[in-house]
Structure 1
């Protein structure tokens, strides 16, 4: 007899959590078309810089493959052509100034008297252009310093983040500069971050992504504050790195332990384990408390569900799991 708990988890991933290959291909086609439109804009509009076609990059959850269904955001680093402009680091390298060369075009209203490029001005210019699109929805400035745009009929929102690709041959380091919301620029390391996540996932036979997906689904199904993706992914990565045994295809075996880890760490600073973003935990105190309380309750329920399953009391196990991961789970189980 097929274990109905295993069957229900398999179907939960297939029907409600995982994003299908066909859907991913459709999004990629949409992304390619949108980037083509942006290049058309950069040729026709004087208030937008030239673009660097070879360095655009999809980042965040969709770029790393850690998104769940339905997809809500696609974060795009749209790489600008700085025309050999000078980049200067301020302080300890957390803030950068980009000074545009005298002969460079297309930066007229985005630079000051010292020819320093204002990142907020570029994002505003993208926003103004998006508002003119005939099918534009949800156009605004984003918290990440870019401009958002949703095409009518699409479920997801593009977050267009203007950026510059920086390559340092002497140090063999490369990174992107993106708006820091104060007019200057800050470095991010998306290639290194993705490689680090993939390496840890590989150490666990490719099953860490399942844990990330199920915990994003758990967060969505409960009436608690949303845990930002970078923070939630960091919590899962830390749990997996501390786990002596490798993960298996049965994600439910680790749900209780992961909820315990979230409960223990959500009140504390959570330093970025895969990049250089510092403390990722920007949640307010009341949000941290609400998440901690839910994680504690669901950890106990997950323990009970596992025990019922071991005792082959599948009906009670499924009842408990449905309280943890949502009531769709109960519909997917084949048990009387």
Structure 2
């Protein structure tokens, strides 16, 4: 019953924002089943040996920041270098020297000895297409992953082939046939640490911010960029003894309205500045965040100063949209 702002937010988060727990369990099970299926290809003459210990679950589903509905689940499927594949680096581009088996399987960039990441993805697609529980395998639009659609569920898997290097990072497709450096483990560990610092309450706030962002009241901020900006704030903020998600969200809107105007460094130290918006777009997003913040201030003033729960709930509806609960009191 949405008779108070607290009750309204609790209902909203449970029914509209947070993932359904049963569907989440099913999604995790289907992901693990897919991993087992791919392991079954390991060592095939037309495939690779899978490096099981370095398979990496990553992305917002793994970090606990995905909101409804479950649409995609990310997976980095690690392949073994088998002691024969090596790499060289030129700027931000990495080239992997392929093996004799790679050459026989037609996986090299033409007229080179370099393993072509696009051809590797296409080999994944070919193998995945033979699996019975899935309806379609195709190249992801960014040419950095294979997308696999399931027959029985609504979510897809984005499968990124990768190699783990002896210097402790991963190489993944760069969308142009070569490879690039990444390490999502840093993101996974960082968000876990900061969430624990704030008593396990930060993930839900991130999900609420993503919900607002997806309302398309302005130019949409990329999910990863949005997470990084929020983590910047809470990494340097002391844990609150009293945490109210509506008040945290109000203050977060104000913070983001300033943060979006600045560059945002990749916490992994790999990609550089993550904020690729031009100045005009940064300003448009900032204005929308400021507008939402001003309405949130009105809502909290109604609740805390005027003791007007109905007015506060209605005002929050202006910020979060028509799916936010209506006041149900007398």
TM-score, normalised on structure 2? Answer: 0.89
Q: Indicate if the aligned counterparts of 1:124 and 1:141 stay in contact, CA closer than 8 A.
A: no
By how many angstroms is 1:91 displaced? 3.7
The residue number in structure 2 matching 1:124 is 122
Is 1:320 equivalent to 2:283 in the alignment? no
The residue number in structure 1 matching 2:54 is 55
By how many angstroms is 1:250 displaced? 1.4
Is 1:298 equivalent to 2:264 in the alignment? no
Among residues 255, 263, 271, which one is paired with 2:249 in the alignment?
A: 255
The residue number in structure 1 matching 2:84 is 85
The 5 A counterparts of 1:226-241 are: 226-241=220-235
Report the Cα distance in structure 2 between the residues aligned to 1:248 and 1:100, rounded to whole angstroms.
56
By how many angstroms is 1:31 displaced? 0.8
By how many angstroms is 1:187 displaced? 1.5
The residue number in structure 1 matching 2:106 is 109
The 5 A counterparts of 1:1-336 are: 4-42=4-42, 46-91=45-90, 94-102=92-100, 104=101, 108-112=105-109, 113-131=111-129, 135-137=134-136, 139-143=138-142, 145-168=144-167, 174-244=168-238, 246=240, 248-273=242-267, 275-283=269-277, 287-310=281-304, 311-331=306-326, 333-336=327-330
Unmatched runs of 5 consecutive residues or more in structure 2: none
Report the Cα distance in structure 1 between the residues aligned to 2:49 and 2:214, rounded to whole angstroms.
39
Q: Indicate if the aligned counterparts of 1:189 and 1:275 stay in contact, CA closer than 8 A.
A: no
Q: Indicate if the aligned counterparts of 1:85 and 1:98 stay in contact, CA closer than 8 A.
A: no
The structure showing larger relative contact order (alpha-carbon pairs under 8 Å, at least 6 residues apart) is 2
Q: Indicate if the aligned counterparts of 2:254 and 2:290 stay in contact, CA closer than 8 A.
A: yes
SS at match of 2:87: strand
Report the Cα distance in structure 2 between the residues aligned to 1:262 and 1:51, rounded to whole angstroms.
41
Paired positions, count:
327
User: Structure 1 residues 270, 69: CA separation in 2 closer, same or farther (over 3 Å shift)?
Assistant: same
Report the Cα distance in structure 2 between the residues aligned to 1:264 and 1:107, rounded to whole angstroms.
54
User: Structure 1 residues 69, 282: CA separation in 2 closer, same or farther (over 3 Å shift)?
Assistant: same
Q: Indicate if the aligned counterparts of 1:59 and 1:77 stay in contact, CA closer than 8 A.
A: yes
User: Structure 1 residues 71, 181: CA separation in 2 closer, same or farther (over 3 Å shift)?
Assistant: same
RMSD between superposed Cα atoms in Å: 2.6
By how many angstroms is 1:47 displaced? 3.8
SS at match of 1:230: helix
Report the Cα distance in structure 2 between the residues aligned to 1:230 and 1:67, rounded to whole angstroms.
11
Report the Cα distance in structure 2 between the residues aligned to 1:162 and 1:273, rounded to whole angstroms.
22
Report the Cα distance in structure 2 between the residues aligned to 1:242 and 1:121, rounded to whole angstroms.
43
Q: Indicate if the aligned counterparts of 1:76 and 1:161 stay in contact, CA closer than 8 A.
A: yes
Q: Indicate if the aligned counterparts of 1:163 and 1:178 stay in contact, CA closer than 8 A.
A: yes
Q: Indicate if the aligned counterparts of 2:78 and 2:162 stay in contact, CA closer than 8 A.
A: yes
Q: Indicate if the aligned counterparts of 1:75 and 1:159 stay in contact, CA closer than 8 A.
A: yes
By how many angstroms is 1:90 displaced? 1.5
- In terms of mean alpha carbon deviation, does 233-242 or 306-315 score higher? 233-242
Report the Cα distance in structure 2 between the residues aligned to 1:77 and 1:223, rounded to whole angstroms.
33
SS at match of 1:148: strand
By how many angstroms is 1:289 displaced? 4.2
Q: Indicate if the aligned counterparts of 2:197 and 2:239 stay in contact, CA closer than 8 A.
A: no
